[in-house]
Amino acid sequence: MQAAPSTIDEGEVAKFEAMAAEWWDPNGKFKPLHMLNPCRLDYITSQIAAEFDRDLRQNQPFTGLRILDIGCGGGLLSEPMARLGADVVGADAAEGNIPVARVHAEQSDLDIDYRHTTAEALAAAGEQFDVVLNMEVVEHVASPIHYLTACRELLKPDGLHLCSTLNRNAKSYVVAIIGAEQVMRWLPKGTHEWSKFITPDELFELLREAGLDPVDRKGFVFNPITWGWSLSDRDLSVNYVTASVKR
């Protein structure tokens, strides 16, 4: 059996390893993710609850679900999933992220299985999950289709795949590259490559090609007046998220 081609882009991995120590600093280089995280979690938890018929008002409603947070970074999404009762595996290709994530989970008294590995390696090992969280990763890999195919292989039948990324248009270049990296300096210059951004229609096509069934997409919209994020059915012009199912 041929091994799946690696989707790791070593240059992209090096960028995030260089920032690993700052994952849990809300005013550090990952400030944009800290600001976006409540909105991301609203979408993630509502989609999981709907797909698996869970009541979010209950204590630890995700008990019994196995969730993979691929590209977990310092654990900004892994920890909330664990608090909601899920059995969580956090995986990242940047080795330096894993010790940071492990230490913070221990300090938070959370049991999370963090691993320095890739989607392809997990799929080759036969790992299976009810949910795969694939947030802000697909724009950093060498081959989106091979990466998404590995994510599909990691899902159990009727499993849920949640994927967020950045749209590719003039507005996203102004907001994500010029605004976030050069003007606001929320991120180091070069964190993103605009040419790697993916339009919503392109991502839906890639998901279908990978063997997934896209069922939803929403935009993450930043309001400079309230200084906060919200979900939008219509505005997917910069940040957006998709839900798809393995039938």
Q: Is 217 annotated as a binding residue?
A: no
Residue pair 154/119 in contact (Cβ under 8 Å)? The answer is yes
User: 32 falls in which pLDDT band (50, 70, 90)?
Assistant: confident
What is the per-residue pLDDT across 145-184, written as a single tens digit (0 to 9) for each? Answer: 999 999 999 999 999 999 999 999 999 888 877 876 675 5
Q: Residue by residue, what is the 3-state secondary structure of the chain?
A: CCCCCCCCCHHHHHHHHHCHHHCCCCCCCCHHHHHHHHHHHHHHHHHHHHHHCCCCCCCCCCCCCEEEEECCCCCCCHHHHHHCCCEEEEEECCCCHHHHHHHHHHHCCCCCEEEECCHHHHHHCCCCEEEEEEECCHHHCCCHHHHHHHHHHCEEEEEEEEEEEECCCHHHHHHHHHHHHHHCCCCCCCCCCHHHCCCHHHHHHHHHHCCCEEEEEEEEEEECCCCEEEEECCCCCCEEEEEEECC
Choose between 244 and 15: higher pLDDT.
Answer: 244
With 0-12 / 13-18 / 19 or more C-beta atoms within 10 angstroms meaning exposed / middle / buried, residue 105 is buried
Q: Is 109 annotated as a binding residue?
A: no
Q: What is the mean pLDDT of residues 26-30?
A: 83
Specify the pLDDT at position 194. 85
Q: Is 71 annotated as a binding residue?
A: yes
Q: Is 19 annotated as a binding residue?
A: no
Specify the pLDDT at position 186. 59
Gyration radius of the chain's alpha carbons: 17
Q: Is the pLDDT confidence value at 15 over 70?
A: no
User: 2 falls in which pLDDT band (50, 70, 90)?
Assistant: very low
With 0-12 / 13-18 / 19 or more C-beta atoms within 10 angstroms meaning exposed / middle / buried, residue 6 is middle
